[in-house]
Amino acid sequence: MIIAQIADTHLGATDADDLTFRVRAENLQACITDINSLNPLPDAVIHTGDLTQHGQPAEFAHARELLAALNAPFYITPGNRDGRDGIAEAFAKEEYMKTDGSFVHYAVEAHLVRLVAMDSLGEPGEPKGEFCPDRLARLDATLAEVPQKPTAIFMHHPPFDVPTAPDPFAYQRREAVADLAAVISKHPQVVRIFAGHMHRPWTAEIGGVAASTVPSVATNLRYGEYPDEMAEQPIYQLHRFDSDFGFASETRLTEKVST
């Protein structure tokens, strides 16, 4: 199974005539073009949050318009910029988007690796993340439903420190991550955790499971050290799963965006 992971697109509305937002739309289009050119196509594309800049309906409409060009199934988890209601409403018609109005939490059973979307949002307006007892109980129950199948969890806030970031810890409470680790370590089928939010790549381990973040697709929001000639090239990652060897991840550079 091949998963393409994109994150932190921070899109504006279709009519945002600001150059910044035109570049971000083209950043996402460059990723979609690259993903669609792959042979074989990824089995799934996951977006680990901050699809939009302000969580506005017009921004979600723009995002959906762009994402319609994808030739692979698409799944998303909310970022702090999006808000959970914005994501739930924008993708309400998608079969996978099962939400009871409280959290965006769902599992996708259609692939070799089971995908579990985890809502890591904190209080409304709070950029940092949180795992409340309700969400942790839901995760525990969801993982207990299918204990034998390799499972990847994807969320916005990375549940580990990213020491190169100005603020390395993405959660409101440090205990939130320990609580998550306690749930994950009960379910050995969890083989990988994918996150966004930091706009830079990092890898770590939580509850005995490999976890990682990806650079932002938005090139004008990307952090980290890159050669100057890469400045206009959006980045995303491919995660290839093999039943014997687990996940191997690859970073993809797309064509330059020349707006």
Catalog residues that contact Fe ion under the rule CB under 5 A.
8, 50
| Contact (Cβ atoms closer than 8 angstroms) between residue 6 and residue 45 | yes
Considering beta carbons, is residue 81 or 138 the nearer one to Fe ion?
81
Which residue's CB atom is positioned nearest to Fe ion?
Answer: 50
Considering beta carbons, is residue 48 or 142 the nearer one to Fe ion?
48
Considering beta carbons, is residue 113 or 257 the nearer one to Fe ion?
257
Considering beta carbons, is residue 156 or 239 the nearer one to Fe ion?
156
Nearest-approach distance from CB 160 to Fe ion, in angstroms:
17
Residue with tokens 């985890």: 118
Within 13 Å, how many C-alpha atoms sit on residue 4's CB side?
28
Nearest-approach distance from CB 203 to Fe ion, in angstroms:
18
- Residue type present at position 211: A
Helices (H), the chain: 19-37, 57-67, 84-90, 133-145, 174-184
Nearest-approach distance from CB 54 to Fe ion, in angstroms:
12
Nearest-approach distance from CB 156 to Fe ion, in angstroms:
8
What gap in Å lies between CA 165 and CA 161, rounded to an integer?
9
Phi then psi dihedrals of residue 37, to 5 deg: -85, -10
Which residues are paired to 114 by β-bridges? 151
Residue with tokens 């990375």: 158
Which burial class, exposed, middle or buried, applies to 123 when counting CB atoms under 10 A from its CB (0-12, 13-18, 19+)?
exposed
Nearest-approach distance from CB 148 to Fe ion, in angstroms:
35
Nearest-approach distance from CB 91 to Fe ion, in angstroms:
18
- Residue type present at position 131: F
What gap in Å lies between CA 187 and CA 114, rounded to an integer?
13
